[in-house]
Amino acid sequence: MNNFNTYQDIILTDNYQKLSYKNHINDHITSVLDFAAESSDSTVLKDNDLKFSKNLYWECIDAIYQNNPINLNDSKKEENRILKQKLYKDIIDKLGVFFDYKDEILIETIDFTISNYMDNLNYHEILGTNNPWLFTNNILVNNNLLYSFTDNKDEYKHLLKKNKKESEISKNLTIGVIGKGHRKDYVQSYIKDIYALRNLFVNLLDENNHDRKSPLKINEIYQKFRDLNISENELTNNNIKSWIVQPLKKFTKIGSNKDGFFIIRNEEDLYESYKSHYNNFMGFYKTLERHKRFANTSEFNQNDFDKHNDIFLK
């Protein structure tokens, strides 16, 4: 029960200033969808017109469960049941006068927080750094918040404030997120539908013929989003790079060379990106080999400087 003892030390926050909960929820949702896309043959997750929904999220969670089964013995199952039961009681106690069993949003928020806490407990060793519940665990442990999200603006309309500065595109590609601390009210915000924005970007590359013959520099990509009236307050340059460009490269929907990024439409585009990555790989390899040669006169174990060659033995 060590994990429960850790949670008992957490005091739900009464200060909603400078919290990072919305970024953690965004990272969690994106990680869940990306993980499911990598580990399943789902055509839905590869659809160019994919938009996020709560149903899609739970389908991806189920896919993660199915592809990474956990075999718990009866003793461990009972331990988890007791822990979960104690978590509910402890959270209700921590909320104190701010707990209202008639508040359906609050009940959903408690359920979601505890479900993610248990999943992190069960999967943190199995999935390692790929564990999507690492992000939500940060909300509870570091932000000291209960939390939830919705793709239906009407569901939280009495809680979520309108962002008047938001672009029209962003308004249609937003997910409402809320947090609950030791207060009567909720903290609320919006995050972007990253999957829809990825598809918007791919379609933009396609429509403007940005293939291997007409790549875009990263700064030009940032500007494309600004031209759509998506401000840096809504989506930073770093968000664009880490949440949109890099995953699209990872899933081979876009490629790159020394001149920039481009859509992969055919074998020629694919080969252009391959050549660029191959040249980069050879550059890194030669650098590592030079390190190995310089290390011949050092006191280090020579095997420590030959790890880059071990990959060819696997």
pLDDT at 2 over 50: no
How many CA atoms are closer than 13 Å to the CA of 276, on its beta-carbon side? 18
Helix 218-227 crosses helix 194-207 at what angle (to 10 degrees)? 100
pLDDT at site 133: 96
Mean residue pLDDT of the chain comes to 87
Q: Which residue has the higher pLDDT, 228 or 49?
A: 228
pLDDT at site 314: 63
pLDDT at site 301: 75
How many CA atoms are closer than 13 Å to the CA of 271, on its beta-carbon side? 3
pLDDT at 273 over 70: yes
Residue 26 is encoded by which pair of tokens? 């965004």
pLDDT at site 217: 97
pLDDT at site 302: 76
pLDDT at site 3: 56
User: Is 149:27 a contact under the CB 8 Å cutoff?
Assistant: no
pLDDT at site 299: 73
β-bridge mates for residue 7, sequence order: none
User: Is 48:261 a contact under the CB 8 Å cutoff?
Assistant: no
pLDDT at site 155: 74
Read off the pTM. Answer: 0.79
pLDDT at 11 over 90: no
Q: What number of residues does the chain have?
A: 314
pLDDT at 1 over 60: no
Burial degree of 224 (CB within 10 A; 0-12, 13-18, 19+)? middle
What is each CA distance from 286 to 177, 289, 295, 302, in whole angstroms?
A: 47, 5, 14, 17
pLDDT in tens, 12-69: 999 999 888 988 999 999 899 888 887 766 666 666 667 788 989 999 999 899 999 9
pLDDT in tens, 68-106: 999 889 999 999 999 999 999 999 999 999 999 999 999
| Residue whose C-alpha is closest to residue 260's, from 235, 286, 224, 284 | 224
